[in-house]
Amino acid sequence: MCNASDFAIGVVLGQRHEKHFRPILYASKTMTEAESHYTTTEKEMLAVVQIPEAESNYTTTEKEMLAVVYAFKTFQSYLIMNKSIVYTDYSARKYLFAKKDSKARFLRWVLLLQEFTFKVIDIKGAKNPTADHLSRLENPHQNVLDPKEINESFPL
């Protein structure tokens, strides 16, 4: 299971046992400044394969893909030579393989993912709570000393 937010990605490695999902390992990572600007799809792919720096500027699509990439990179020893299913709330892999004018980072991700046998299943965030929670870290790039605005128009 993979998920990405604006500032972090979260992944869960698990297996099905008698129709129930059993988690084995959890992983999450705060995105770099460049990663946080990825698209949602690119962030999800990052959760599968981690790439260095320049990740906060990715679009939402890139961030979703980043999540998928991070997951495969992190759990590589468990996933190599095994069939896997990636549950994500965005069609990251479909976007990656359908894109004709791919960027160099997409091509690197495709090459890395070709080592694995997997399929992607779209899942709503509400049905993917663990990975969603792992990806919802507070904004690490926000200065805690910055003054906050007060919302004067609180709805009744």
Question: In this predicted structure, what is the pLDDT of residue 50?
Answer: 47
Instruction: For the chain, list the domains and their CATH numbers.
Output: 2-134 (3.30.420)
pTM: 0.61
pLDDT value of residue 143 = 58
Q: What is the mean pLDDT of residues 67-89?
A: 85
Q: CA-to-CA distance for 115 and 132, rounded, in angstroms? A: 26
pLDDT tens digits, one per residue of 98-149: 666 667 777 888 888 888 898 887 777 667 666 666 666 555 555 555 666 6
Q: What are residue 36's phi and psi, to 5 degrees?
A: -65, -10
Joined together, the tokens standing for residue 61 give 């699509």
- Residue-wise pLDDT for 18-68, tens only, equals 888 788 888 888 777 777 777 766 666 665 554 444 555 677 677 777 888
Spell out the SS3 assignment of 55-116.
Answer: CEECCHHHHHHHHHHHHHHHCHHHHCCCEEEEEECCCHHHHHHHCCCCCHHHHHHHHHHCCC
pLDDT at res. 104: 79
Q: How confident is the model at residue 92 (pLDDT cuts 50, 70, 90)?
A: low
123-to-70, 79, 110 alpha-carbon distances in Å? 18, 20, 22
User: 26 - beta bridge partners?
Assistant: 12
d(CA 24, CA 75): 10
For residues 39 and 11, the model is more confident at: 11
Whether 156 shows a pLDDT value over 60: the answer reads no
